[in-house]
Structure 1
């Protein structure tokens, strides 16, 4: 993984190109009741220094003015720049996977987008620069740290800065990248499409991290925030770094939700068994066996799997989950 300083230098030295020569980025935007902040997000696409992009929107049954806003922008930009579709009405995870697997979308790279953030001007440029450094046949996923803002777009902090290696052993028990920061290549998308849109996974972004790391791909976590992640009462998924959020997640763990999420992820990974690396297959089997064993054997297999989370608190929670058989 290149250092942030080295990566910044690469971005600064990026050659100037006309739009036609720039790689095409398909922005995969999922919407639902998004009228309050959607226009600001769409406007931030226009400010991107990487200008070769189009937007594919999947709306999941909005009853507010979301569709009117999208139609206004489609009229202003043209239907070649913004394509509007209707999702499966099964929640944000199903909506994102539905859009990911849309066979009509063809680009060099694909960027997930929420409806209520604001992208910094270099978000796509930084992602594309790193992705271009990876051979096209290797699955590649770019994600970043985020700047947290309130409902009025005022800075309130940053998302956690992760420093441990990004790997399948980490992905099995934690997602490090928010979907709103993720950009990936065609090799990664091919795997996501192969697995399909109807999967029992809890989130599309955690699934992307699992697939790319498990199938021998590369993941880059950019420590420079490239978007303003809006925190508000209507967030479907917000930051979980506060003490209250951590307590709520511990309660969810004790209720068995973490174990249920792992059930879904493991079932989905079985669909890509032939694409998983031998090392990933071994890690996964140790993890699966550990979840079925008695206490001492469970801990032994968990140690063999090498699973870990990015923070001390996270790893303590992982130990608690193992002890109480909630993993």
Structure 2
């Protein structure tokens, strides 16, 4: 369960900020984090071999801002997820709550305090939310992630962008323990997928809130983007055809089994067999579970058809 709080003392939230060539967006993003209301916020940042002056700007800003701590890089990580994984491993372990922060978004002022309240009220170890995507030309749209959670949705999708996550101390500890003991090639390529799997398979509650808490900037350097529009759909279909998505699902299923409580182990073992096999009988058996694999009804039909056709 989330950590108990001392009456009259603001909850401490450690914000883990991963940067790489984000100098042009960082001032606005960091200000929106440090100006969060109703929480005692600290930012721990690790720069991943930037070449645009990001590291130098962070050093200058941290010299004047005691709530900003730079975690020294021990070499280029190679991806945003790997950078976040190192932050989880290296950040202090004694804060009540933890949050992930991208370098190019903008947080609404009550993001952290509202999610802390939800975590405590619902006894949820993880909280995420919808976001509002925006572009340089002023276009804005809701990115809806709060479709009802399904029995095994955590094996095929995240609960929203990692930049919306608020995590309990024990969930961060579980993640850290997994990362510290993981063998090469067994760590999923997206940190938001991994943490969702760890929480859900362990039997801990995750809440996806309908209120957008992040202004989600869309630009050419986005790692994943808002997952809307035809271009995004084609990109993800390509990953499906190349078996990348299935490979990640196989990996996530094994992670889930490694932390699952007795209630979920038998079901997850069956899911591992169905995800691993490609024969017609197994495909139909897995397709019959399509309604439990994705949250959005449209996506349930799509994944079911892709599984039966042997594309996924």
TM-score where L is the length of structure 1? 0.84
Structure 1 residues 141 and 70: CA distance shift in structure 2, 3 A: same
Asked if 1:191 is matched to 2:174, the reply is yes
Distance (whole Å) between structure 1 residues aligned to residue 262 and residue 30 of structure 2? 42
Distance (whole Å) between structure 2 residues aligned to residue 286 and residue 22 of structure 1? 44
Partners of 1:160 and 1:241 within 8 A in 2: no
Distance (whole Å) between structure 1 residues aligned to residue 310 and residue 13 of structure 2? 43
Alignment-derived partner of residue 169 in structure 1 = 152
Alignment-derived partner of residue 118 in structure 2 = 130
SS of residue matched to 1:53: strand
Partners of 2:174 and 2:198 within 8 A in 1: yes
Distance (whole Å) between structure 2 residues aligned to residue 276 and residue 111 of structure 1? 24
Structure 1 residues 34 and 103: CA distance shift in structure 2, 3 A: closer
Alignment-derived partner of residue 307 in structure 1 = 292
Q: Which runs of 5+ in 1 are unaligned?
A: 1-16
Distance (whole Å) between structure 2 residues aligned to residue 210 and residue 70 of structure 1? 32
Alignment-derived partner of residue 268 in structure 2 = 284
Distance (whole Å) between structure 1 residues aligned to residue 139 and residue 109 of structure 2? 17
Structure 1 residues 321 and 245: CA distance shift in structure 2, 3 A: same
Q: CA offsets, 1:299-319, max 9 Å, x none?
A: 225536963212233123311
Cα displacement (A) at 1:62:
0.7
Asked if 1:148 is matched to 2:133, the reply is yes
Partners of 1:168 and 1:213 within 8 A in 2: no
Structure 1 residues 215 and 242: CA distance shift in structure 2, 3 A: same
Alignment-derived partner of residue 323 in structure 1 = 308
Cα displacement (A) at 1:176:
2.4
Distance (whole Å) between structure 1 residues aligned to residue 22 and residue 212 of structure 2? 23
Which runs of 4 or more aligned residues in structure 1 lie more than 6 Å from their structure 2 counterparts after TM superposition?
none
Alignment-derived partner of residue 226 in structure 1 = 213
Asked if 1:120 is matched to 2:108, the reply is yes
Alignment-derived partner of residue 162 in structure 2 = 179
Alignment-derived partner of residue 37 in structure 2 = 49
Asked if 1:61 is matched to 2:61, the reply is no
Partners of 1:173 and 1:307 within 8 A in 2: no
Q: Which runs of 5+ in 2 are unaligned?
A: 1-6
Q: Superposed, which structure 2 residues align to 1:224-303 within 5 Å? A: 224-270=211-257, 273=258, 275-291=259-275, 292=277, 294-301=279-286, 303=288
Q: CA offsets, 1:177-232, max 9 Å, x none?
A: 11000010012112111211554302000111111111011111111111100001
Partners of 1:177 and 1:206 within 8 A in 2: no
Cα displacement (A) at 1:105:
4.1
Asked if 1:160 is matched to 2:144, the reply is yes
Cα displacement (A) at 1:46:
2.6
Distance (whole Å) between structure 2 residues aligned to residue 67 and residue 157 of structure 1? 32
Distance (whole Å) between structure 1 residues aligned to residue 291 and residue 213 of structure 2? 31
Cα displacement (A) at 1:267:
3.9
Cα displacement (A) at 1:115:
0.3
SS of residue matched to 1:201: coil
TM-score where L is the length of structure 2? 0.88
